[in-house]
Structure 1
Amino acid sequence: MDERGFFSRTFDRDVVRSAGLDPDSFVQDSLSRTRRGVVRGMHLRSGSGEAKLVRCSSGAVFDVVVDLRPDSPTFCNRASFELSGDTQVTLYVPAGCAHGFQALTEPADVSYRIDRAHDPAEDVTIAHDDPELAIPWPLPVTLLSERDRRAPALAEVLAARRP
């Protein structure tokens, strides 16, 4: 960073490879712009899931990942992070984990690099305010999509995923 602003490398094959990921597995880039207080999530994909690299390119977000991989030692645990355009940190969200965020600024831009093409038939949503998750959203929630408003509780989603 200097008086001109900053430069940030947003993707580097060698860095991704050194983290144990296949850089060629990512097939789609997406961007969302979100107003302060809005929550997007908690979202995941059915089937083989969807891995993604998530970065707040402008503004700031409170980002949450919930591990829903049944064989994982951190099954049903959640982790939260503050991502911001100032730091440009990229977060890896493994396939089988639910992901969501709340915009802390007006607006916040979030970039996604995803390893599978989107198929709306595979979309799964969990209630952002499920008491079992107890996500400490830092701001009052100002807006949710219709899909997020109607999302079922985690227990219901897990029951539906059992063979």
Structure 2
Amino acid sequence: MAETSSAAPDQTPTTLWVERTGTRRYTGRSSRGAEVFVGSDTVEGVFTPGELMKIALAACSGLSSDFPLSRRLGDNYDVTIRVSGPADRTTETYPQLDEVLELDLSELDEEARTRLLTTVERAIDKACTVGRTLKAGTKVTLSFDIEG
């Protein structure tokens, strides 16, 4: 079943879905033409769903911090955002996810660094929908569209 994400009032919502493409292998698709390969950790060339969740968190933090970082460091700044956290297989959850933003702030003095990092943290806390959803928890529903 396709998922429709929210969109601005003047935009058509993006439709999201996955299709089974092999044993323990799916292709995630969007109505905007994007694709991602998903499967179990025994399948080469795919992300696991948990890895995609971690990448979504890191990407969301990156996008949320992009404006304050580019405003202070310029449009061509480099950042790598790493996210880790092992799954608890008894509960099939990730009890903790740890993000690390790797930035070169060597050209800033200590006061400017502290101000920028505070601004970045606030921007992520305010605008990262993925992080906010993970921290708050969310209601997930499941329904079936059965033929025959």
Give 1 or 2: higher strand fraction.
Answer: 1
Give 1 or 2: higher helix fraction.
Answer: 2
Larger Rg: 2
TM-score range, shorter chain: under 0.3
- Taking structure 1 as the reference length, the TM-score comes to 0.21
- Taking structure 2 as the reference length, the TM-score comes to 0.22
Q: Which has the higher contact order (CA 8 A, sep 6+)?
A: 1
